[in-house]
Structure 1
């Protein structure tokens, strides 16, 4: 488990992270979202001990990162996939990490096979594509077989097959009881991967909740109905105390009533329906609505 308590980081007069308190628990994929400049990367760097907090604390299974013996066996992190010595092969990069963390060298071949880099194990990563570099970074994170995994933009540079692979890998790791913390700007991908969300803006915590609740609380949910008999349906709904809103395209929109209830009322009054659907915003729409006032760099629409 990763736990943050009043975690704060200031750079001169600028507060990059402002009293963040939340926990990343095992068993689910937790998404970490925020606009550019929100403080996500700074937070992740403090988790790994790369930046020191101005105040507050962050612990990995109850201990700060710098007090972990063999830290790669506790937490594996992917922050900068290209942080590799240019003179070492992929294999020897992993070997250095294994030797410094007391990891059995036989584990190297396992993770290279897992990420699909066995064929280039003896090549230098400076010639790798962005996607291959990402795979090597993921192999480094998995090397110590840790209980906690943290990924920053893990699908960056991956092709569709690679994206599908890392998505399923994160889900499998969480299903096996591991803690998985992932940051990404790809909302569509996050919606398919994460079950829980931590959202920050301007360094402050905005949300710490399930994916379903986040979308529900930050979007408009309604039932859309299309019928050749709109007057009869409106009368049936009105008799039940339901007031639909007529849209320009002729459809009715109904809030606060389940789709099943609308269907039952239509059936009771023998009203023909051509469409009955529950409408809800996407993760991207909900995210934009929540973080609109916390965007540091905002382009003007033309």
Structure 2
């Protein structure tokens, strides 16, 4: 279990983390979300004692990270896949970590097998692709068979098979009763992986709830309806007090999740339906709605001016 209590970090005038209080519990995958610059990486670094809080406290199973006798057997973390001595082989990188933490050498082979790197175990890490580096970082996190695992953008550089593998790995680790804390910008992947979400913006806690509750509270639910008797259906919905609007393709979108009521209403008035489907907005939409006011960097699309003489030049090419 990871417990954050009023965790705060300032860099001069900049407040990176602002009074963050939450608990990352065992037995589930907890997703850690926030816009760029929200303070996610700083928070993870403070959990691991790599940065010191300006105020507040963070405990791992009741103690600070610095107080752990053999930290890799309590916490395994992937924060930077490039944090490897390029001149060492994958095997010797892990062996060095094992020997300095009192971990049996047999674990090196076990975790290399787990992450699929046994065939390149004796190759130098500097020749690894980014995805292979990610796998090596995950192997290092698993080395001490820890009860708590932290992953920062674990699917970066992985191919679809690798993404599927790490997703199932995190779920299986949580099913074993371990604490799994994962940060990612890939909303579609987080929606398939996480059971619980902690969302921050500008260093402050915005949400701490289950995935289902988060989407329910922050995303739009509606029922998509198509009918050849569209106007009659629209009138019937309005008379029943159901707000509906036209979709770009001519279908109707009725607010809420009353698909059964709409179906019964249409049947009672003899209105033919070609589609009646409840829709739930995605995690990405829910996240964007919640964090809209906490985004530090906004991109603006600008019209690109046509280069001078473009038209004439194009016509010349055409000839």
Task: Tell me if 1:45 matches 2:42.
Answer: no
The answer on 1:251 being equivalent to 2:251 is yes
SS at match of 2:43: helix
CA distance in 2, matches of 1:6, 1:216: 27
Q: Where does residue 69 of structure 1 map in the other structure?
A: 69
Is there any run of 5+ residues in structure 2 with no aligned partner, and where? 303-319
Say if 2:196 and 2:211, in contact at 8 Å, map to a contact too: yes
Deviations 1:137-196 (A, max 9, x none): 000000111111100010111111111111111111112211111111111111111121
Q: Per the alignment, in what secondary structure is the counterpart of residue 149 of structure 1?
A: strand
Aligned residue number for residue 309 of structure 2: none
SS at match of 2:155: coil
CA 257–298 in structure 1, closer or farther in 2 if over 3 Å, else same: closer
SS of 1:215's equivalent in the other structure is helix
1:268 CA displacement: 3.0
- Within a 5 Å distance, the mapping from 1:147-162 to structure 2 comes to 147-162=147-162
By how many angstroms is 1:236 displaced?
4.1
Distance in 1, matches of 2:82 and 2:169, equals 21
Q: Secondary structure at the match of 1:111?
A: helix
Indicate yes or no: 2:223 matched with 1:214.
no
Q: Is the 8 A contact 2:153 2:183 kept in 1?
A: yes
Q: Contact 2:221 / 2:257 at 8 angstroms: preserved in 1?
A: no
CA distance in 2, matches of 1:185, 1:229: 43
TM-score, normalized by length of structure 1?
0.95
Instruction: For residues 52-80 of structure 1, give each alpha carbon's deviation from its aligned partner in whole angstroms, at most 9, with x where no partner exists.
Output: 11110111111110111111111100001
Larger radius of gyration: 2
Match of 1:289 in 2: 289
Q: Any idea what SS the aligned residue of 2:299 has?
A: coil
Q: TM-score, normalised by structure 2?
A: 0.90
Question: Are the structure 2 counterparts of residues 33 and 271 from structure 1 closer, same or farther at C-alpha, using a change threshold of 3 Å?
Answer: same
Partner Cα separation in structure 1 for residue 117 and residue 92 of structure 2? 13
**1:202 corresponds to:** 202
Q: CA deviation at 1:238?
A: 4.7
Closer, same or farther: CA 247–128 of 1 in aligned 2, 3 Å: closer
Please identify, of 203-212 and 229-238, the stretch whose mean Cα deviation from structure 2 is larger: 229-238
Task: Spell out, residue by residue over 1:189-244, the C-alpha distance to the aligned partner (whole angstroms, 9 max, x if none).
Answer: 11111121111111111111111222222222111110112244345445544343
1:102 equivalent in alignment to 2:83: no
Is this contact kept in 2: 1:234–1:243, CA < 8 A? no
Give the structure 1 partner of residue 316 of structure 2: none
What is the alpha-carbon root mean square deviation over aligned residues?
1.5
- Whole-angstrom distance in 2 between the partners of 1:257 and 1:180: 33
Partner of 1:191: 191
1:13 equivalent in alignment to 2:16: no
Which digits, 9 at most, give the CA deviation of each residue in 1:233-277, with x for residues without a partner? 345445544343344543222223521221222233332211111
Answer yes or no: is the 8 Å Cα contact 2:257–2:278 preserved in 1. Answer: no
